[in-house]
Amino acid sequence: MFCRSQVFFFAIAAGLAACSPAPDIQAPIRAVKVLEVSKSTLTSDSEFAGEVLARVESRLGMRVGGKLTARHVELGQRVKAGQLLAEIDAQDYRLSVDNARAQLNAAQTNHDLAAADFKRYKELRDKDFISGAELERRETVLKSAQAQLDQARAQLSGQGNQLSYSKLFADKAGVITGLDAEVGQVVSAGMTVMRLAQDGPRDVVFAVPEDKVAAVRQGQAVKVKLWGSAQSLFAKVNEIAASADPVTRTFAVKAALDDLKIPLGTTATVFLGSSSTGLEAMTLPTSAVWQSAGKSSVWIVDPASMKVRSQPVQVSGVHDNLVVISSGLEPGQQVVTAGVHVLSAGQKVTYFKAAGEQP
């Protein structure tokens, strides 16, 4: 009997325990960062990839044609003004010089003979041994010999120039940035053999699309950041292409750099500065938006109760690392911008304050 009563007592106690309410376990109060929603005009920071180039890059070529027999420089080599860069086979030009020199000698001989005859006939005319007409004929012969002599001298000078053109010299000091011909290749007059970036001013060159070229103007200051460097430089736009590239449909822009020691070919990022798009919208940091069942939502803080609630929003796009909200929010609402994935509906929160910040 005692055992049955004991069992009955424990059954009643277990039943009462099952019916008692569970202890109230409250979610922790979390500190959150909030942003008060407002409409603002969207701005755009235009940045473009650029390259540092010499302001003057010459395409060097021979002034006469021939077979390239020697090239005395390599790609990337620094050269001085007047330095010998390349040579072509000059044998034919040497023969032309020899021929012109021989013609000059012949013309000089004829001129000397004509001059001697004129002198002798002039003496005879002074003694009235010959007529004036005969002296005039000798004078004409002398003038013709002088003209032939001048022509021969000019031909020799021209052929000498042609011979000197068989060697290519650097006009200015600089760096060889391209080689377009190899030894043994037959080049024509004016054909590019190599390219020389002259020492001096540097430009950063970048391409601007058609829809933004109107915002670029002569003399405009731009910020330039070199690749792999935290240092920012400033340049001034000095040239804007008059027409777009037929392939890329972009306009080439050059901006002058003050630093002349920047290595040629350095990659750079060019910032044209912020410009207004004319559109007003509400924007939030990307950290404020979270996904649930394929829909975008944010947490709204109720300042009266300091609790959060979920609010679906419509995202229309991303602009400069900000999410553009087209609907779902009203100006003045407080949106949680950090820690959104650890919150739950109705959870109490407090405003996050950085160390040293006054409450």
The mean of the pLDDT values for the chain is 85
Q: Of 278, 306, 334, which residue sits at a domain end?
A: 278
Shared domain for 257 and 305, answered yes or no, is no
Cα–Cα distance between 262 and 6 in angstroms, integer?
95
Q: Of 278, 312, 336, which residue sits at a domain end?
A: 278
Mean pLDDT across the stretch 268-286? 72
Range 2-7, long-range pairs (CB < 8 A, 24+ positions): none
User: What amino acid occupies position 129?
Assistant: F
| Strand pairing report for 232-240 and 250-257 | antiparallel
Can you give the pLDDT at residue 34? 87
What is the Cα Rg of the chain in Å? 45
Name the pTM for this structure: 0.57
Shared domain for 81 and 106, answered yes or no, is no
Mean pLDDT across the stretch 315-338? 81
Shared domain for 261 and 309, answered yes or no, is no
Confirm whether 332 is domain-assigned: yes
Can you give the pLDDT at residue 197? 93
Shared domain for 95 and 153, answered yes or no, is yes
Q: Of 259, 278, 297, which residue sits at a domain end?
A: 278
Cβ-based neighbours of 252, under 8 Å, separated by 6 or more? 205, 206, 207, 239, 240, 241, 245
Can you give the pLDDT at residue 213? 87
Confirm whether 212 is domain-assigned: yes
User: What amino acid occupies position 16?
Assistant: L
| Strand pairing report for 295-302 and 34-36 | unpaired
Start-to-end Cα distance in the chain? 69
Which position has the higher pLDDT, 15 or 271? Answer: 271
Cβ-based neighbours of 219, under 8 Å, separated by 6 or more? 236, 237, 238
Shared domain for 303 and 285, answered yes or no, is yes
**Nearest Cα to Cα of residue 97 among 45, 163, 52:** 163
Confirm whether 25 is domain-assigned: no
Confirm whether 22 is domain-assigned: no
Residue 357 has pLDDT above 70, yes or no: no
Confirm whether 16 is domain-assigned: no
Q: What is the pLDDT of residues 160-201, one digit of tens each?
A: 999 999 999 999 999 999 999 999 999 999 999 999 999 889
Cα–Cα distance between 158 and 164 in angstroms, integer?
10
Shared domain for 179 and 78, answered yes or no, is yes
Which position has the higher pLDDT, 273 or 245? Answer: 245
Range 185-190, long-range pairs (CB < 8 A, 24+ positions): 185/67, 185/68, 186/65, 186/66, 186/67, 186/68, 187/61, 187/62, 187/65, 187/66, 187/67, 187/68, 187/88, 188/65, 189/61, 189/62, 189/63, 189/64, 189/65, 190/61, 190/62, 190/63
Confirm whether 3 is domain-assigned: no
Shared domain for 178 and 145, answered yes or no, is no
Can you give the pLDDT at residue 41? 63
Shared domain for 212 and 314, answered yes or no, is no
In the chain, count H helices and then E strands: 3, 23
Structural domain including 295 reads 30-42+279-351
Confirm whether 69 is domain-assigned: yes
329 and 282 in contact (C-beta within 8 Å)? yes
Which position has the higher pLDDT, 316 or 26? Answer: 316
> What CATH number is given to the structural domain containing 69?
2.40.50.100
Shared domain for 99 and 131, answered yes or no, is yes
Shared domain for 297 and 330, answered yes or no, is yes
Q: What is the pLDDT of residues 35-76, one digit of tens each?
A: 888 877 655 567 889 999 999 999 999 999 999 999 999 999
Total structural domains within the chain = 4
Shared domain for 152 and 182, answered yes or no, is no
> What CATH number is given to the structural domain containing 130?
1.10.287
Which range among 88-92, 259-263, 299-303, 329-333 shows the weakest confidence by mean pLDDT? Answer: 259-263
The token pair that represents 225 in the structure block: 């950041």
Confirm whether 357 is domain-assigned: no
